Structure 1
Amino acid sequence: MKEIYKKFAKLEGIIANILLISIFILVFLSAFTRTLGHPINWAQDAALVAFAWMTFLGSDLAIRNTRLIGIEVLTKRFPKVIQKYLDIIFKIIIIIFLIILIRYGYTMVITGIRRTITTLGISYAYVTASVPVGSFLMIISTMIRLIESVKTPIEKWGEDK
């Protein structure tokens, strides 16, 4: 199971990088052709779709690689036992927030199905689906980090962070 997850994580990173490069190319190309008097109308909308997905996939990558904004300046001053429990509490709060995002993201997908992105001819649900899908992936990554936090003995807390 761990091998499948590692391969999925690698694929997710590749997709996020491709999306980032695509956004750059689309926005640059759109601006360049607009200055020539021949704008590419669909490029901005395609960049929007790529940006939505890149944001949520990139957020999952940040959680997986522990690159989140933290309040370590404050928490590092506490004893290790309090640091550990605060870390666990914060991860649980993150999971609850992500569950709420899935709930309301699903509603956004359902209400956006009939709405189309005119220049691309696709449903707006393809954009809004990034919210529940990305949130679900972030829950998995946060759960893995939560289990690691629970299993880490207090004596070793903070050594590899």
Structure 2
Amino acid sequence: MLSILVWIEDLFGKLLLAAIVLLIFFAAIARNAGYPLIWSVDMAQALFVWLCFTGAVKALRQRAHIGVDYFVQKMPFGWRRGVDLAMAVITVVFLAVLAWFGFQLTVMNAQRIFGDSGLSYAWVTGAVPLGASILALVLAAQVFVALRDKTLVFAKSRADDSLHQEL
């Protein structure tokens, strides 16, 4: 089941990126030919917001987000695990708050029209609550696994865990 969701996530990201590239490409060609597609740039911007959250979910799932952990790596494993879990919980809470306020923003923007596209601006702002909710769920699942297996949440591999358990 999880592999199907990952496959759908990857496909969705690829389709979004392809659509953005095609929209910008055809907009440039049309503008050069004297027939500007005004709505295409608006649509590309809207799709880019969704692509950012799709990429953020993939990066979180692969533990590929940037982290400055110079000082944390120098801690004993128990302390490092505590800091790691605390940061994960703080991040889940932040994402939940972001999802809540993103939902409110989406509702407020339901009547607003996005640029020249004629679409509701809620289609753009809707990426925030949905993306933040998915990020929070993925991170919460990673916290659960880390607690169950007594590992780190943000470690890129088991080797990161075992190296510091020995120290």
By how many angstroms is 1:6 displaced?
2.6
Letter matched to residue 147 of structure 1: F
Q: Which runs of 5+ in 1 are unaligned?
A: none
2:31 aligned with 1:58 = no
- Cα distance in structure 2, aligned partners of 1:19 and 1:160: 34
So what's the TM-score if we normalise by structure 2? Answer: 0.86
Amino acid at match of 2:117: L
> RMSD across aligned C-alpha pairs, in angstroms?
1.7
1:3-18 alignment, distance < 5 Å: 3=1, 5-18=2-15
Alignment gaps of 5+ in structure 2: 161-167
Partner of 1:135: 132
| AA of the residue aligned to 1:26 | L
**Distance (Å, rounded) in 2 between the aligned partners of 1:39 and 1:85:** 55
C-alpha deviation, 1:34, in angstroms = 1.6
**% identical equivalent positions:** 24
Match of 1:122, SS state, is: coil
Q: What CA distance in whole angstroms lies between the structure 1 residues aligned with 2:13 and 2:158?
A: 30
Partner of 1:82: 79
Measure the CA separation in 2 of the matches of 1:90 and 1:71: 12
Q: Give the superposition deviation at 1:88.
A: 0.5
**Post-superposition offset of 1:39:** 1.1
Matched, 1:73 2:70: yes
Name the SS of the counterpart of 2:41 in structure 1.
helix
Measure, in 2, the Cα distance between the counterparts of 1:104 and 1:81: 35
CA distance in 2, matches of 1:27, 1:65: 29
Determine the C-alpha separation between the residues in 1 that align with 2:139 and 2:158: 20
| Equivalent of residue 88 in structure 2, options 74, 88, 91 | 91
Does structure 1 residue 21 correspond to structure 2 residue 21?
Answer: no
Give, in angstroms, the shift of residue 118 of structure 1.
Answer: 4.6
- Distance in 2 of aligned mates of 1:114 and 1:25: 28
Query: Matched residue of 2:4: which SS?
Result: helix
Match of 1:160 in 2: 159
2:22 aligned counterpart, secondary structure: helix
Bigger CA drift: 93-102 or 27-36?
27-36
Once the 2 structures are TM-superposed, how far is the Cα of residue 19 of structure 1 from its aligned partner?
0.6
TM-score in terms of structure 1 length? 0.89
Indicate if the aligned counterparts of 1:87 and 1:149 stay in contact, CA closer than 8 A: no
Q: CA deviation at 1:49?
A: 1.4
Alignment match, 2:38:
41
Q: How many residues align?
A: 156
Preserved CA contact (<8 Å) 1:19 1:54 = yes
